[in-house]
Amino acid sequence: MTELHLNNVSFSYPDGTKALENLTLSIATGERVAIVGQNGAGKTTAVKLMNGLLKPTEGTVLVGDWNTKDFTTAQVSRKVGYVFQNPDDQIFHNDVESEVRFGPKNMGFEPERVDELTHWAMDLCGISEFADENPYNLPYSVRKFVTIASVLAMDSDIIILDEPTAGQDKIGLQILGNLLQVLEEKKKSVITITHDMEFVTDYFTRIVVMANRQLVADDNAQKIFYNTEVLEKSMLKPPAVAQMAKLLDFPSGILSKGQLIKVILSQRGQ
Ligand X SMILES: Nc1ncnc2c1ncn2[C@@H]1O[C@H](COP(=O)(O)OP(=O)(O)OP(=O)(O)O)[C@@H](O)[C@H]1O
Contact residues toward ligand X (CB under 6 A) are 13, 15, 17, 19, 37, 39-45
Min. distance of Cβ 8 from ligand X in angstroms?
17
CB 49 within 8 A of CB 7: no
Q: Which is nearer to ligand X, 117 or 193 (CB)?
A: 193
In whole angstroms, how close is the CB of 166 to ligand X at the nearest point?
A: 11
User: Which residue, 42 or 81, is less far from ligand X as judged by CB?
Assistant: 42
Cα 175 from Cα 192, distance rounded (Å): 15
Tell me how far, at minimum, the Cβ of 9 lies from ligand X, in Å.
Answer: 12
Which helix (H) or strand (E) segment holds residue 197: the answer is helix 197-203
Choose between 39 and 266: whose C-beta lies nearer to ligand X. 39
For residues 202-230, one letter each, b for 16 or more C-beta atoms within 10 angstroms of the residue's C-beta and e for the rest, the string is bbbebbbbbbebbbbbbeebbebbbbeeb
**Residues 6 or more apart in contact with residue 141 via CB below 8 angstroms:** 167, 168, 169, 172
Closer to ligand X by Cβ: residue 161 or 175? 161
Quote the least distance from Cβ 38 to ligand X, whole Å: 7
CB of 241 to ligand X, least distance (A): 24
Question: Whose Cβ is closer to ligand X: residue 44's or residue 147's?
Answer: 44
Rounded Cα–Cα distance for residues 54 and 80 (Å): 13
Give the DSSP letter string of 137-190.
GS-HHHHHHHHHHHHHTTT-SEEEEESTTTT--HHHHHHHHHHHHHHHHTT-EE
Query: Coil, strand or helix: which one is 90?
Result: coil
* 77 vs 118 by CB, closer to ligand X: 77
Number of Cβ within a 10 Å radius of residue 69: 11
Q: How far is the CB of 39 from ligand X (least distance, A)?
A: 3
Give the Å distances, CA to CA, from 38 to 43, 50, 78, 233: 9, 20, 29, 10
